[in-house]
Structure 1
C-alpha cells in the first residue's frame, strides 16, 4: 500500500524527466518557467507526495522517490489523454482562460472524460493523504478535484492554485459546464490566483451563479467559508543567481556572444510554442523594424527559443508551421550569408544553457498576449547579477504587476511594440542599471520561498505547513 503523507501535491504531470536512470533513480523535469520549476525549490528536501500523470499511456507502474518526494502516478489511456488533456483542458479551458486568443471548442465527450480523470486524481490524492493532511491541487487541468476530495476526505485541508489567468465573468459564462467547474474549485479551503482581479472575477461569478455571499477575499458557499486571494508565484532567485555564475555558463555565454557577433545587440525570447505567447506579433514587429531600416542585421540579431508544446493539438501544429514560414521569410529577405536575422530554435533547453542565453541577451523580449505570470521574465532578472540588460514585458503578463521597471508594452500594438524594442535597445547603461536593480530587489524579497510560505500560511493558520518548508538556501556559485 502507498505510504501516506501530511502534504500532498496534485498536478497534471509528475515532475519527471522522460527517462528513469539505469540505477532506477528519478530526476526533476525542469522547463522554462512552469509548475515543476516553481515547486522544485520548496519541495526539495520536504517530505511530501506528488500525485500526477507520468507521461505514459496505459498502466502506471510504481516510481522511485525523488529524494524525500514520493511519487504517486495516475494512469491515462490514449482516449483519456485526448479527451481530458488535449481536449477539454487545452482546447476548451486554456483558450477561454487566455481571453479567447484562440476560439475555444466545446465538446460534450471531452467533458465526460475530464470529469472521469479528475475523479481518478482525487481518489489517488485521498488514498495517500494522512488524516488531517494538506492537499494542494494545481491548475485548470484539475478544477473539479477540490470538491471531489472534500467528498472523499472531509478531514483534510484543501488548497487550490490557479497558475493561469482566470477569465472575466462574461467569458467564463460561455462554458456549458460552468456550474460544476466553479463549484469544483470552491471545494477548496483556499483558492489562490496570480492576480487580485482573478479573485474578484470568481467572487462575482459565485454570487451570480451559485447564490454565494461574500467578497473578493472570502466566499460563503455550501455552508463553508472559502478564502481566496492573490499569491503571485515566483522563482528560486538564489538558485538562478548561482546557476548563471557557474564557469560553464559564463564560458557558454562568451561563446554565444562570439558566435552571434561581439558587436551585435542580442534580443532574446524564450517561450513555450503557444499562441498565447505573442510570438507572431513579435516577429512582425521585428520584421518591420528591419524593413524600415530602424535596425540592421549587421548590428542586431534575434534569438527565438520556442520549446515544443502540445504537439498533438492541431492549433499548435498550425502555429508551428506559421512561425517557421515567417522566420524563413524574414531570414530570406533580410539575412546575409553567415548572418541570419533570426536564430530560431524549436527544442527543449537545459537550464544551464538557458542561463547562458540570459547572460548573453542585451534585451529580453517577453510579450505574451495573456499570461498568468511568466517566470522566464523573473529568471532573466535573477540571472543579471551585474545589473545590465533590458526587459521588455507585456502588460498582460502577471509579472508586469511586480516588474514595473521593465519596458512595459501592449503586444497587440505593433507600433508601440516596435518603439519599445528601440527604447530598450537605445537605453543608457545608467537607466538599465536603475531598472534592473529595482526589479532584482523585488524578486529577491518575493522569491519562491516567500510565495510558498504566504500561500501555505494562509491555508494553514497554525503555521505548521509553512514551518516544514526548507529555508532559502545558500547555493555555491561554483557548484558543478
Structure 2
C-alpha cells in the first residue's frame, strides 16, 4: 500500500461483533455500548489513542456506514444471511467450537463453510488494512477470525499484529482432525503475538505448529519467513479477567443488596445453589442438574431447605445441537421438579433468559454456593464474577478443573464434573464448609482477582506486543 493511502487509526481492535448493540430511541434507532469485559478493558486505550473497532454490527444483508461512538471509530463489516449461516453458525460454531472444546459434540466439516470463513476473514482484513495508520497496532480477537493475521500481514506488512484466542486450543491429536489445519495455523502465525488463556493452550498450539508447518520453534518463538522478511511470532499465555471495580461497586450498591434480599425471600429463605451459564453443551449444565437431582433422591438434600437456581441465557438457537440441548435440560428440570416440588417449594428455578449485570450481581450475593461445572472452558468469567461480588468474604465456589479459572482460583472446591458422585460430594462439602474455612478460601481468591483484573490483562498483552522479543 502506498504510504499516501494509509489510514489514520493507530490502534485497531478486530472482532466478530462490534462493541455496540442497536437500541430503539425516541428519534429512531441508536447504539449502546455492549456489556462485557473486553469492551471495558479496551475503552481507555481507545480514548487515549486514535482508536477504531472493526466488526459485524449484528444484522445480516445490511450495510452500515462507519460511525463514531464513545471516542471510538466503528467500522461495520457487512455479512449476508448465507455468510451468517456458513461462516458464523457453520464453520465458527459447528466446526471450530466443538473441535476446540475437546469434541464434546462432534464437529462438522463442510467445504462450503470453509469457503465462507475464508471470504469473511478476507473482508475483515481488507477493512482493517484500509483504516490503519502506518505502523499501527492491530489486535484481532478470537476463533472466528483466525485467518485475519496472515491476510493482514500480506496487505500491510508494516503493522504490528496481535491475536487473542478466548477459547481453548485443543491438543494436537484433536486439532489434527481439521481438514484445513495448516491454513488455520498459518493464519495465526501472521501475528507478531498470539495469546492464549492457559499454558496448556499455548503448548498445544506450538506442538501443532511444529508438526504441521515444520517451523523452527525456540521457547515461545516461531521463526518465519514471509512478506515482511524474516520475523518471529511469539505464542504465550495471558489469562483474561473481569472488570473487578464494576462488580465490586454493584455488590455494595443499596438497590442491588436489597434485590439480593428479595431473591432469598422469593425462594423461601432456603440455601441457594446457583448456576449461571450460556446455554451451551460445554458448560456441564446437565451434569450439575443430575448431581442435584440425585442428592434429592438420596435424601442428602431436601427441597424444603435447598433450591438450585439455574440461569441459562439463550445461545445459538438456530444451531440444531443447541436446540436439542435446551430440550434435554428442560426435560431434566421438569422431571426433578415433578418428583420433588411441594405446593410451596420448587426444587429448581430454571431461568432461560439473559439478565442485566445488576441482576446477576444480586444473584451472586444471594447464592450460598456457586456451581461452575463446565466440561471445557477457556476461562469462565462467571466464577471470577462470583468471587468479586462476595464483598462479605463468604460463600463457596465449586469449580470445574477443566476451566481456565481453576488455574488461578486454587482455593475453590475443584471438581471433575464428569464424576457425578464426586460432584455430589463437592456440593455437600461446599454446603457444609466451616465459616472460617469459607472465609479463608474466599479471601485468597478475592486477592488473586483484585490483583489481576481485565485492564491488567489487556495492558500485559499490549505491552508484550509492543515490546516484541526485547
| Alignment of structure 1 residues 24-63 onto 2, 5 Å | 25-30=30-35, 36-44=36-44, 45-47=47-49, 48-62=51-65
Secondary structure class of the residue paired with 1:282: helix
The answer as to whether partners of 1:387 and 1:433 remain within 8 angstroms in 2 is yes
Change (3 A) 1:204 1:316: same
Matched, 1:9 2:16: no
Report the equivalent of 2:72: 69
Q: Report the aligned-residue RMSD.
A: 1.6
Matched residues, number: 457
The answer as to whether partners of 1:4 and 1:127 remain within 8 angstroms in 2 is no
Output one character per residue of 1:321-342: Cα deviation in whole Å (capped at 9) or x when no partner: 1111111111000111131100
| Alignment of structure 1 residues 60-459 onto 2, 5 Å | 60-62=63-65, 64-222=67-225, 223-262=230-269, 264-459=270-465
Whole-angstrom CA distance in 2 between matches of 1:78 and 1:232: 34
Change (3 A) 1:2 1:460: closer
Report the equivalent of 1:474: none
Whole-angstrom CA distance in 2 between matches of 1:349 and 1:450: 26
Secondary structure class of the residue paired with 1:460: helix
Whole-angstrom CA distance in 1 between matches of 2:217 and 2:468: 24
TM-score, scaled to structure 1: 0.93
The answer as to whether partners of 1:185 and 1:191 remain within 8 angstroms in 2 is yes
**1:4 Cα deviation from its structure 2 partner:** 3.2
The answer as to whether partners of 1:26 and 1:64 remain within 8 angstroms in 2 is no
**1:456 Cα deviation from its structure 2 partner:** 0.4
The answer as to whether partners of 1:200 and 1:216 remain within 8 angstroms in 2 is no
Change (3 A) 1:343 1:136: same
The answer as to whether partners of 1:159 and 1:190 remain within 8 angstroms in 2 is yes
The answer as to whether partners of 1:7 and 1:135 remain within 8 angstroms in 2 is yes
Change (3 A) 1:301 1:216: farther
Secondary structure class of the residue paired with 2:33: coil
Whole-angstrom CA distance in 1 between matches of 2:369 and 2:38: 24
Secondary structure class of the residue paired with 1:59: coil
The answer as to whether partners of 1:306 and 1:344 remain within 8 angstroms in 2 is yes
Secondary structure class of the residue paired with 2:272: strand
Output one character per residue of 1:357-397: Cα deviation in whole Å (capped at 9) or x when no partner: 01000001011000000011101110111101101100000
Output one character per residue of 1:150-209: Cα deviation in whole Å (capped at 9) or x when no partner: 011111100000000000000111100011000001100000000111111121111111
Whole-angstrom CA distance in 1 between matches of 2:353 and 2:6: 36
The answer as to whether partners of 2:378 and 2:403 remain within 8 angstroms in 1 is yes
The answer as to whether partners of 2:192 and 2:468 remain within 8 angstroms in 1 is no
Change (3 A) 1:302 1:159: same
The answer as to whether partners of 1:252 and 1:356 remain within 8 angstroms in 2 is yes
Q: Structure 2: where are the runs of 5+ without partners?
A: none
Output one character per residue of 1:313-356: Cα deviation in whole Å (capped at 9) or x when no partner: 00001101111111111100011113110000111110000010
The answer as to whether partners of 1:59 and 1:75 remain within 8 angstroms in 2 is yes
**1:2 Cα deviation from its structure 2 partner:** 11
TM-score, scaled to structure 2: 0.95
Output one character per residue of 1:247-306: Cα deviation in whole Å (capped at 9) or x when no partner: 2211111111111122x1101111000000000111100100000000010000000000
Secondary structure class of the residue paired with 2:467: coil
Change (3 A) 1:215 1:393: farther
Whole-angstrom CA distance in 2 between matches of 1:22 and 1:4: 34
The answer as to whether partners of 2:193 and 2:234 remain within 8 angstroms in 1 is yes
**1:22 Cα deviation from its structure 2 partner:** 4.0
The answer as to whether partners of 2:395 and 2:442 remain within 8 angstroms in 1 is yes
Whole-angstrom CA distance in 1 between matches of 2:344 and 2:22: 35
